[in-house]
Amino acid sequence: MKSVTVNEQEIKNDLYEAVNGEWLKNAKIPDDKPATGGFNDLVDEIDKQLMDDLDAYAEGKEKSDDSRFNEMVKLYRLAKKFDFRKKVGPRPLKRMLTSIEELKSYDEYQGQWRNWIMAGMPSPVVFDIDADMKNATVYALFAAAPSLILPDKSYYEADKKDQHDQLLKLWSSMVTTLMDKLGYDKDEAAKHIENTKKFDALLAPNVKSAEEAADYSKMYNPQTVEELASSTDQLDLADVIKRLIGTTPEKVIVTEPEYFKALNGILTDHFELFKSWVLINVIRANASYLDDEMREINGRYSRALSGSKKSINQRKFAYYLARDVFSQVMGDYYGKKYFGPQAKEDVHHMVEQMIKVYKGRLANNDWLSKATRDKAILKLDKLGIQVGYSDKIPALYDQIKIDEGESLIANLNQANIVANREMFSRWNKPVDRMRWEMSAATVNAYYHPFKNIIVFPAAILQAPFYSLKQSSSENYGGIGAVIAHEISHAFDNNGALFDELGNLNNWWTKEDSEHFKQLAQKMIKEFDGIEFAGQKVNGKLTVSENIADAGGLSCALEAAKQEDDFDAKKFFINWATIWRMKATKQYEQLLLSIDVHAPQKLRANIQAENLDDFYSAFNIQPNDPMFKASGERVNIW
């Protein structure tokens, strides 16, 4: 990425525009994507690199002695055989659909339920295995609600009626075309579509919105299997749980209790609606694995939601599929080939340095009591660090075998069964805290509150985030702020609820907790209601990420100041650079409804405005648009 030329006078008006304005003018959003920019550009480069590599292996120009990698290459090769799939036609999908069409009752569905969950088919209850939120060293069973047709519950509310109707019309049109291509009679297809929309409308009032789901404290609602099973007499929840994990657990962690209170009413006298909902969800989940025409049709609704003009090309489709099924295998390959052990060590050291800075800030914090401060420092001492790529690939990937003589759908069903069998087998076993859940080839980073770990995949550890060619201040304004952002998640409104082991456990004094809530409320207020892309920012939805951004930026700034070549201007300019994004209006509006992150421009500008050094670096004065009165600046960590 070229260095950014900036008119410093313009920074007084708008940091983000001053740094990225020229780029925004010239940047073109690819037809097959809803956005372009810092993160997206890195993704594009990595995709191209890895597709070229996979082609070399698929064509026999390169050879690997890793059997798991070779299975991934086989899936890539199979996924590229669009002409072969066109000849085969819809038979592989029709076999699945026939088994649904023949169902006559919930009792018959019950007989298939466990096997269908294993194959990744739709279920009225979504089961998952993760660390127990109150005993984080052991894996527990979680139960949640299925997803909706529209992106979020808020789309079903009266103030979004026009959007709701327009999107459902688009969705219906797409599914009508899919069902026509699959040979369904017009009236039969119309009935299934109407039934599915009716069932979806029964789900919508009872599931959590993105804003509600963003509050982790409301996720932990343990129930006995008997209590959970009493949610409905239409299906036997106790039976399917026993068949999934091989026994009856003492408890199931219910993340959406209101949904389970409504479950019996949703199911009773609605079997035909439910059956249509299963049928259409199976069509939607698998149509793209038939021929290219079906793939294009099946993407129309999601492209309308995001504003993308075209579907991705065949080569990229095959690559994404192989990469996603073999995510840790691809991550291992990418990490070792393009990142290497030295860079892994360097960045690990940088993370440790940022933790030291954070500890210093906590030690000098003027609003936490000693008891809370000591527990916070203990949490940092116990923080797990994952950098670059995993040291071991889970054994799961040894079991995924690809048969190039079989259909793509059959292979993916088998891969789902292997993955789900392994997931459910983890129930009640010790948590592998350092197990990677994100591929090293992913341009992202995360903090896991149930495990108290931070993860920085290799793919994000490059310019503009991190480079040996950048100054230390630029690196701290990039990857330093990202690292400190993830550390800050341990102390945001969600992370602060979990102790050093990842248990949901209140380690705060009452006074400290109250003070923190007041500060969090200030952060909510700072962002809430800001006009953006014709809509408004939801401060409550984005509060945890905004707290992490604020803590990350101020902590990275302190670390940068300790370097001999500190340059505040370069620090803030690279901070604004990493958030550059040009997106379709549809995509920006979609993110405002469902994304826990604030819009990129606001992340860049508002967090800079909260820091005194920003004002001195660029001589920001009270009459400048980027000026915020000191009493309004929000600083938590």
Which residues are catalytic, by number?
Answer: 486, 549
Report the alpha-carbon distance of residue 571 to residue 474 in Å, rounded. 5
Name the region of 533 (left: φ>0; alpha: ψ -120 to 50; beta: rest): left
Rounded CA separation 356/346 (Å) = 16
Q: Are residues 542 and 470 in contact, defined by beta-carbon separation less than 8 angstroms?
A: no
Nearest alpha-carbon partner for 601 in 21, 7, 3: 21
Instruction: Return the closest-CA partner of residue 573 out of 12, 197, 16.
Output: 16
Q: Report the helix count and the strand count for the chain, using DSSP H and E.
A: 30, 11
- One-letter amino acid at 502 equals G
- Give the separation between CA 456 and CA 440, rounded to whole angstroms: 8
Q: Could you tell me which of 128, 150, 127, 99 has the C-alpha nearest to residue 275?
A: 99
Q: Quick one: angle between helices 543-561 and 481-488, nearest 10?
A: 130
Residues 459 and 334: their CA atoms lie apart, in Å, by 8
Contacts of residue 305, Cβ cutoff 8 Å, sequence gap at least 6: 151, 167, 586, 587, 590
Alpha helices (H) in 326-369, listed in sequence order = 327-334, 340-363
Cβ atoms 541, 590 nearer than 8 A: no
CA separation for the pair 247, 486 (Å, rounded): 37
Cβ-contact 253, 222 below 8 angstroms: yes
At 509, list the tokens: 């004094």
Distances in whole angstroms, Cα of residue 591 to Cα of each of 148, 277, 541, 588, 594: 16, 26, 11, 5, 5
Residues 139, 260: Cα–Cα separation, whole Å = 22
Please identify which residue in the block is written with the tokens 């992370």. Answer: 495
Looking only at the bridges linking them, the beta strands covering 384-388 and 453-457 are parallel
* DSSP at 453: E
Report the C-alpha gap between 439 and 394 in whole angstroms: 12
CA distance 513 to 412: 47
Specify which residues 131 forms β-bridges with.
139
**How far apart (Å, rounded) are the C-alpha atoms in residues 440 and 332?**
7
Helix%, strand%, coil% for the chain, nearest 5 = 60, 10, 30
